[in-house]
Amino acid sequence: MGKTLFDKVWDAHVVKHAPGGLDILYIDKHLIHEVTSPQAFKEIENRGLEIFRTQNMVATPDHNVPTLDQHLPIKDALSKFQVDTLTENCEKHNVNLFGLGHPFQGIVHVIGPELGLTLPGMTMVCGDSHTSTHGAFGSIAFGIGTSQVAQVMASQCVLLQKPKKMRITIDGELSKGVEAKDIILYVIAQLTAAGGTGHFIEYAGSAITSLSMEERMTICNMSIEMGARGGMIAPDEVTFDYVKDREFAPKGEQLKEAITYWKSLKTDASAQFDTEHTFDANNITPMVTYGTNPGMGIGVKESIPNSNGNAASFDKSLNYMGFKKGQEIIGTPVNYVFIGSCTNSRIEDLRKVASFIKGKKKAANVNALIVPGSKQVEKQAKEEGLDKILEAAGFQLREPGCSACLAMNEDKVPAGEYCISTSNRNFEGRQGPGARTILASPLMAAAVAIEGKIVDVRNYLN
């Protein structure tokens, strides 16, 4: 029987089979950030261990960092302590750190790909569930807990049971105004927030292969929102073009050899998946979420359903969001717009938003925050003059970080307010206590910012 893409990469990284049906899986790249690493460094030190392969690690602060005045000391004492602790730990253990102010700093899942740290065929981990983003390159990338961060520090390996395999095939062409974000929100709405549990997903089909690398990252990023360990897409010419010339990517002969190998990383025709789903891209419209998990999504023209699984939890969720069963979502006034996060803060996202709002003004009621995913994205946006367009439209262009995606810094949405957000989680309180998050694509967020209420972006495109 043939192998899937996932099998090929997994099997190439098994050091040995361990007791209980677990595998010792070798990890090529270990990304770390300030929130989930301090206890792991402590663990290593308390046990008198050394970091086994510091050269496989890269660190950056992102979750806690302010998005204003990054050149000044961080005001929040606890955040400052956490970011300083990362710096100290990296210095002490000789870990490559792109700290605040460094031209490579940014959200860990944005900088990996843009620096060529993320490559096809790799295994990658980070103490962060959205590590699944990197799977867009045909790598096995997944989030781990802090105990596992310590394990990887100590041994460059994790101990895992090989997940089951799922393929999600999406064929057909996307209509105008429908983006990668809509594809993944649609898929999660179909399969539910737990629909991928126990699985590693491969995304395939013409609607996927026609996407850019950045769009593929948006898809893989949200694999975790259906409970999957990760998602991946077979590398192709689009991938190789993106990778070449990146800072840490192989060059010259080494790149040629790598590409020959990477070309073998695709699912064999005879390979079997544990679960398969197929969707038609023509059925996908701009999506919005109405509830408090990413599986609670609908097309923007649809009405909120009357039920969805557990009745008590559904009612609790609608109550939190201030919505009613059967209600239309279009026309809902929205005062906050957040464009950012590891799902949608890359240069293509900023370009799309800028080209939509060029010459327009945000609605007076709207507070529109746009947070680039990295220093490099910020720099490029400025070089392309996107900052001028955004500012002229009344958007605040900030410095890079996770920002209002999880509201660990000052960027919070007030209680009771709706925020249309390009991030990945609409959990209760995710963007601040009591905040009501509506997930959508960058284009939808841009349109909402201009109108001050939920609209169908397709009505504004000709």
Partner 1 sequence: MEKFKKLNSPAVPVAIADIDTDQIIPARFLKATSREGFGENVFRDWRYDKNGELVQDFPLNDSKYSGKILVAEKNFGCGSSREHAAWAITDYGFKVVVSSFFADIFKGNALNNGLLPVQVSEAFLTKVFSAIQKDPQTALEVDLENQTITLVATGEKEQFEINEYKKECMINGYDDIDYLINQKTEIENYESKAVKFW
Strand order in the sheet with 157-160: 14-17, 23-26, 157-160
Contact 225, 132 (CB under 8 A): no
Per partner kind, with CB cut-offs from 5 to 8 A, the member of partner 1, ligand SF4, none near residue 49 is partner 1
Question: What radius of gyration do the chain's Cα atoms show?
Answer: 21
342 near ligand SF4, rule: CB under 6 A: yes
How is residue 295 annotated by DSSP?
Answer: T
Residue closest to 202 by CA, chosen among 159, 241, 164, 145: 164
Own/partner pairs for 141-144, CB < 8 Å, 24+ apart? 141/220, 141/230, 141/232, 142/200, 142/229, 142/230, 143/224
35 near partner 1, rule: CB under 8 A: yes
| Buried-state track 162-197, b at ≥16 Cβ within 10 A, e below 16 | bbbbbbbbbeeebeebbbbbbbbbbbbbebbbebbe
144 near ligand SF4, rule: CB under 6 A: no
Of the pair 219, 271, the CB lying nearest ligand SF4 is at 219
Per partner kind, with CB cut-offs from 5 to 8 A, the member of ligand SF4, partner 1, none near residue 310 is partner 1
20 near partner 1, rule: CB under 8 A: yes
φ/ψ (deg, to 5) at 142:
-150, 160
Per partner kind, with CB cut-offs from 5 to 8 A, the member of partner 1, ligand SF4, none near residue 134 is none
Binding part of the chain for ligand SF4, among 294-302, 318-326, 392-400, 401-409 by CB under 6 A, reads 401-409
Among 89, 317, 332, 341, binds ligand SF4 (CB under 6 A): 341
Residue closest to 188 by CA, chosen among 291, 107, 329, 274: 291
Among 29, 130, 346, 362, binds ligand SF4 (CB under 6 A): 130
Residue closest to 315 by CA, chosen among 331, 294, 296: 296
Binding part of the chain for partner 1, among 32-40, 168-176, 183-191, 384-392 by CB under 8 A, reads 32-40
Binding part of the chain for partner 1, among 43-51, 168-176, 346-354, 442-450 by CB under 8 A, reads 43-51
> Smallest gap, in angstroms, from Cβ of residue 145 to partner 1?
4
Among 374, 424, 431, 441, binds ligand SF4 (CB under 6 A): 424
Task: Kindly write out the interface string for residues 364-403 of this chain, putting x where it contacts partner 1 by CB under 8 A and - elsewhere.
Answer: ----------------------------------------
Of the pair 67, 317, the CB lying nearest ligand SF4 is at 67
Per partner kind, with CB cut-offs from 5 to 8 A, the member of partner 1, ligand SF4, none near residue 122 is partner 1
Q: Show contacts with ligand SF4 in window 49-68 (CB under 6 A).
A: 62-63
29 near partner 1, rule: CB under 8 A: yes
54 near partner 1, rule: CB under 8 A: no
> Smallest gap, in angstroms, from Cβ of residue 429 to ligand SF4?
14
How far apart (Å, rounded) are the C-alpha atoms in residues 440 and 454? 10
Residue closest to 153 by CA, chosen among 83, 88, 65, 94: 94
Residue closest to 234 by CA, chosen among 277, 191, 201, 267: 267
Contact 22, 113 (CB under 8 A): no
Footprint of ligand SF4 on this chain (CB under 6 A)? 62-63, 107, 109, 128, 130, 341-342, 402, 405-406, 423-424
